[in-house]
Structure 1
């Protein structure tokens, strides 16, 4: 659908509406997602047990000569007759049905309780772990196998080999239950949750870079006509099909350019702007807009497929809940800042490798690093609210360590972060740890030429009654100060 017209301010751009890749939300796509997320491995294991049970039944029914010695030995020592076998299988089936119900109930309670404090990402992480899928498949598969074998027991047929298999698998699954319980407890620890988010965010960044490296950072087109591509659907923009996008733009001229307004991770409502297409003629711009509309993929749930910023947001929400005055747990906040610092450090070293071939006529602004600094600022805000000096000090240490590697525009953002924090410093008890962190970041900024900001930090320190002049021997090089912390080995804020 297209629209055109005029207003008092000038010409209104034509509009092309798109529902994106409609097949992405189809029921079979949802089913495939469920299989990949959790059900696939578990169902495959259950199906394997089912097929194994059918195969053993066929072999035992055939009364093969090579199987008789084993069957006779098992009958003498374990399952003397069909009544004993049936009783055993009844016990296993009933016990496993009860155990499965209890395990599922307890797991849901534990996950719900943990998610209430750390967010719904707990469910995603639990379902993503292969060992959880394997154990779920083992428990349900054992139950299915026991029921299947029990159905074959009769006065004339005693499936001793199949019953023995049920016995072996039951013992293994019960022993592994201890490992599963330990694993579940470990998975609920904040350190494990943060580590998983950290790894997932790095993986998402790799996928995002494969897209960023094929786009332009700045507009180049000289086209005079603009057509707006707007959303007819609603939901999160979870991905852009880069190969399909490249195919849609393969034969366009130098006047055509697609400027992305919505990036993966953006929530889009009806009629929100997705992109602008610039070309020499309106018909050409409209044609391109209609061609690329199907490359946008929307979903109800946000995904980290091409969206590492979602990982940053998960870390932020996790730390915000724990650091706020509702819980006042600085440990989680400090651990999250450590993870953020590592992510930003890796991305600064990694950079964006420019490929030799000509990029696609697509303009995409990569502002992930700025988003990481925004998260640090957000955590400093909640730390000020809850009076947690440890978290504030860790934010300042992160800025101090990263500052010399930041690009000029990101340095400006880091300075802004510190200056905003200083405006509320008079409401914060200035502990020695926080004082040392302020001293370090001021010294680093002064060494790197940001004298005005360094002076502002020193002025804020001097206004606090707890601030004091450090001995001269701890005023060392900026890089030495940056690697020290008041609570870590190797740094002392006073003479020993």
Structure 2
């Protein structure tokens, strides 16, 4: 490949990534502050026009303010200069202190804390308001020159400054409140539920298995790396439906999947070569790759965030069981809610006109894997509370999930059972094992229930005897 061509492709890729960063910055944080700042700038222009119009209805108010507060242009300019400088200083100090506090919290609850802080609308409003008031004061200050004395605009700036100082106190409380583990985990939980709602639209409109075996099969590969953040199944499906012959697109990647350069994104199956080649181009245009996952459309991202917080807290990295238990309980609630959604989706599946697109829904699998990982982490740190909570989640939900998810839970229980040997058989853990046995027998899975019962009995043999971690559960003779 010529060097000039490589440089052109490299520059295009760099431009695309820069635009992606800008788009994400506005999507996550900058949109609301920018709108607020623009609003304050327009307010400054409007107030200047109002001052110069010298409306008779405002003459009395103008005279009162000028007589008691803003005696002349010099006094007004001094006040506005003080307001603007003070707001800039206070905002800078506040941001610095908040960043330090966020960094400290992130050292315990991972970098997800930063994401949560940026996503909250009231944080965006506060910073947009502070900067907007400062810019409003500076613009008004620029219009002050004898004999023009913008009394009304200066009074507005003073009023807005009082509001900004009150909001500063509110920001202080809300920022501290946002750094509590329960608030962070609840926010991730809620974002994940919203993302799943958007995701289910794709699931309901697509097929779970291929229904067509054509003569032409073309792979769709990517020329860059990144996470799948958007899949426009409507465009792909409509294009496949409009093909001259039969056609179907089998997606090999799901929302949130990571692809490296050259990986297969999808496979196009069609009756003729022209339709297949056209669909390859359609698929590439309809699917977007980014360097970061998109929390708004990818529920698996929220699950991974909860898993990261849980793993960091449960393992010996932090050895703090409280956030880990909160993460497990949030995952349990997601599993309970989505099991109901799956039942509703299966009931209405026959009424939905599905597109000729095959999509694999991996969200439930990611959720099961995350709970499994947290149980493994608890064995490393000997946090029996976390292992107990995972078992209790499975025991409570076994009778409420689909048969497919029952098999998945059964598989996870068998895989985490060896980790039981690292724990002491506490009263709570023994109760959770008993609840798991009962739940497994209630759904007819007696084999796994027997294995859980056997493991519990072997561990119970250590009660009253001195054992180390390595000899607590000896192999059967």
Distance 1:86 1:283 in 2: 71
1:134 aligns with 2:155: no
- 1:106 has 2:97 as partner: yes
Task: Give deviations 1:6-59, integer Å, cap 9, x for gaps.
Answer: xxxxxxxxxxxxxxxx99947666544433322222122222222222222222
Q: Any stretches of 5+ residues in structure 2 without a counterpart?
A: 1-12, 464-477
Measure how far apart 1:187 and its partner are: 1.1
Aligned positions of 1:93-492 closer than 5 A: 93-252=84-243, 255-351=246-342, 352=345, 353-354=348-349, 356-465=351-460
1:357 Cα deviation after fit: 4.8
Equivalenced residues, count = 449
- Aligned 8 A contact 1:322 1:328 in 2: yes
**Equivalent in the alignment of 1:41:** 32
Per-residue deviation, residues 278-305 of structure 1 (Å, max 9, x unmatched): 2344454334323322111111111134
Q: Which residue number corresponds to residue 485 of structure 1?
A: none
Residues 208, 307 of structure 1: 8 Å contact kept: yes
Paired with 2:403 and 2:352, the residues of 1 have a C-alpha distance of 28
How far has the Cα of 1:201 moved from its partner?
A: 0.9
Contact kept? 2:232, 2:286, Cα under 8 Å: yes
Q: Distance in 2 between matches of 1:116 and 1:288?
A: 46
Shift of 1:452: 1.5
Over 6 Å off, 4+ runs: none
Inter-partner Cα distance in structure 2 for 1:283 and 1:54: 58
Q: Shift in Å at residue 419 of structure 1? A: 2.0
Deviations 1:224-252 (Å, cap 9, x if unpaired)?
Answer: 43211111121111111122212321223
**C-alpha RMSD of matched pairs (Å):** 2.4
1:74 aligns to 2:58 (yes or no): no
- Report the equivalent of 1:475: none
Q: Residue 79 of structure 2 aligns with which residue?
A: 88
Q: Say whether the 8 Å CA contact 1:221–1:254 is kept in structure 2.
A: no
Q: In structure 2, do the counterparts of structure 1 residues 290 and 83 end up closer, same or farther at CA, with 3 Å as the change threshold?
A: closer
1:161-187 deviation line (CA, Å, top 9, x unaligned) = 111111111111101111111111111
Deviation by residue 1:316-358 (Cα, 9 ceiling, x = unmatched) = 0011111111211111111111111111111111112415354
The CA deviation string for residues 97-130 of structure 1, in whole angstroms up to 9 with x for no partner, is 2111101211222223323332333222222222
Measured after TM superposition, the shift of residue 315 of structure 1 is: 0.6
CA distance in 2, matches of 1:65, 1:466: 94
Which residue pairs with 1:480 in the alignment?
A: none
Q: 1:382 to 1:53 in 2, by over 3 A?
A: same
Pairing 1:61–2:52 present: yes
2:243 and 2:289 mapped to 1: Cα distance? 26
Please give the alpha-carbon distance, in whole angstroms, between the structure 1 residues aligned to 2:244 and 2:273.
14
Residue 5 (structure 2) aligns with = none
Distance in 1, Cα, partners of 2:197 & 2:351:
19
Q: TM-score, normalised by structure 2?
A: 0.88
CA contact (8 A) 1:430 1:466 kept: no
Contact 1:219/1:363 (8 A) holds in 2: yes
Q: Using a 3 Å threshold, how does the CA distance of structure 1 residues 327 and 28 change in structure 2: closer, same or farther?
A: closer
TM-score, L = length of structure 1: 0.85
Decide whether aligned partners of structure 1 residues 28 and 367 sit closer, same or farther in structure 2, where only a CA change above 3 A counts: closer
Aligned partners of 1:25 and 1:299 also within 8 Å: no
Assess, with a 3 A threshold, how the Cα gap between structure 1 residues 29 and 230 changes in structure 2: closer, same or farther: closer
**1:392-427 per-position Cα deviation (integer Å, ceiling 9, x unaligned):** 100000000111123333222212222222213222
Q: Distance in 2 between matches of 1:23 and 1:223?
A: 38
SS of the residue aligned with 2:349?
Answer: coil
Alpha-carbon shift at residue 466 of structure 1 (Å): 6.4
